[in-house]
Structure 1
Amino acid sequence: MWEVAVGNTFGATALSSYGGFWISFAIILTPGGFSIIEALTTPDGREIAFVDSFGFFVMGWFIFTTLLLLCTLRSTVAFFLLFLTLDMAFLMLGIGYLHHLLGTPYTPLVRASGAFGIVAAFLAWYNALAGIADSSNSFFVVPVAHFPWSDKGREMRQKVNNDEARGLAEV
């Protein structure tokens, strides 16, 4: 919630929303206490209604993450890749649950979702380290590439003196 205090709308939206996602995810999958899975299971033990509704739940998060992904296009490549892999994880998980066989999610897509989720986790840690390790508190700075159209990318392009480069080419 400190992102709200410092005026970072994107950070506040993303972090509080995904915090809510993990709380709701835990509520859905907690056995016994909330009985969500049991309420959506047929008397013969099939979980078709649960699998369908869970697939739609995850697809909602895919749409939300896609919107955030579009907002990262003026940031760094590493930050964009984090949201891209997270978006792919939600997409694969949602399709895996919606494309089921009598209540059993499609395993290859669910596994692919897990692989994208693991890559997203590593990228999240990389972005976190890149955000906190700077020249004031670290002996190294984590490299991040900026998109050429981003403010930082334009700033870096303006620092290049093309006249000097042309003069060297003539020599």
Structure 2
Amino acid sequence: MSSITPAPVKDGIANPAPLGLCAFGMTTVLLNIHNAGFFEMNSMILAMGIFYGGLAQVIAGVIEAKKNNTFGLTAFTSYGFFWLSLVGLIVLPKLGWATAPSEGAMCAYLSVWGVFTLLLFFGTLKLNRALQFVFASLTVLFFLLVAGDATGNPVIKHLAGYEGIICGASAIYTGIANVLNEVYGRVVLPIGQVNV
């Protein structure tokens, strides 16, 4: 009997995480440039929220399901639908289909997402440092947005915008690092792999 170890068989499905991370990151950066006060809410942000932050992340999550990655499925589909729901919160009242959410309602909405993100953060403790930073900074972002809505203080909202730009940029970095590290077959951009 031979003790030859068979070569691992690839599943033939590309890694969807870079798509999901870049979709999340780029949309987050653009929304938070608005939150930081650089430009008004406009169709560019809403379109990114629907088509890239929303649909691209849902697609990435579905592919994660095919790869048997429960964390990726849960994170990408959830945040994809977060973006779609956020656009709905903005657009539905303008169409006359619903009343706009009050500050209290927005605090509840953002708080639920903040708690959800904090819980997912614990899953990143077995993944890598880059994802830990993305989820930790996203948790902080949600609660800064809650504080901004609860107090009505524009300074907090602007601070949240700058923090959100950092969060989104970290997601873009993590996504691109995954792409380049795979293409080059070595660590081009480190993500701080966790050895557990």
What TM-score do you get using the length of structure 1 for normalisation?
Answer: 0.71
Paired residue for 1:69, among 106, 121, 128? 121
The residue that corresponds to 1:142 in the other structure is: 189
Shift of 1:18: 0.5
Give the stretch that moved more between structures: 111-120 or 17-26.
111-120
CA deviation string 1:69-122 (max 9, x = no partner): 1111112111100111111110100121122xxxxx221221122112111111
Give the stretch that moved more between structures: 130-139 or 20-29.
130-139
For 1:136 and 1:51, locate their aligned partners in 2 and report how far apart those are by CA, in whole Å.
46
Paired residue for 1:97, among 149, 165, 177? 149
The residue that corresponds to 2:99 in the other structure is: 36
Shift of 1:128: 0.4
Identity %: 26
Which of the pair has more CA radius of gyration? Answer: 1
CA deviation string 1:112-164 (max 9, x = no partner): 221121111111111101212225447862112234xx33xxxxxxxxxxxxx
Mapping of residues 13-162 of structure 1, within 5 Å: 13-30=74-91, 31-33=93-95, 34-37=97-100, 50-99=102-151, 105-134=152-181, 136-137=183-184, 141-147=188-194, 150-151=195-196
Gaps of 5+ in 1: 41-49, 100-104, 152-171
Gaps of 5+ in 2: 1-61
Shift of 1:53: 0.7
Q: Which runs of 4+ in 1 moved over 3 A?
A: 135-140
The residue that corresponds to 1:4 in the other structure is: 65
For 2:82 and 2:154, locate their aligned partners in 1 and report how far apart those are by CA, in whole Å.
22
Distance 1:54 1:135, change over 3 A: closer
Higher relative contact order (CA 8 A, sep 6+): 2
Count of aligned positions:
133
What TM-score do you get using the length of structure 2 for normalisation?
Answer: 0.63
Distance 1:111 1:67, change over 3 A: same
Q: Which amino acid aligns with 1:32?
A: K
SS at match of 2:189: coil
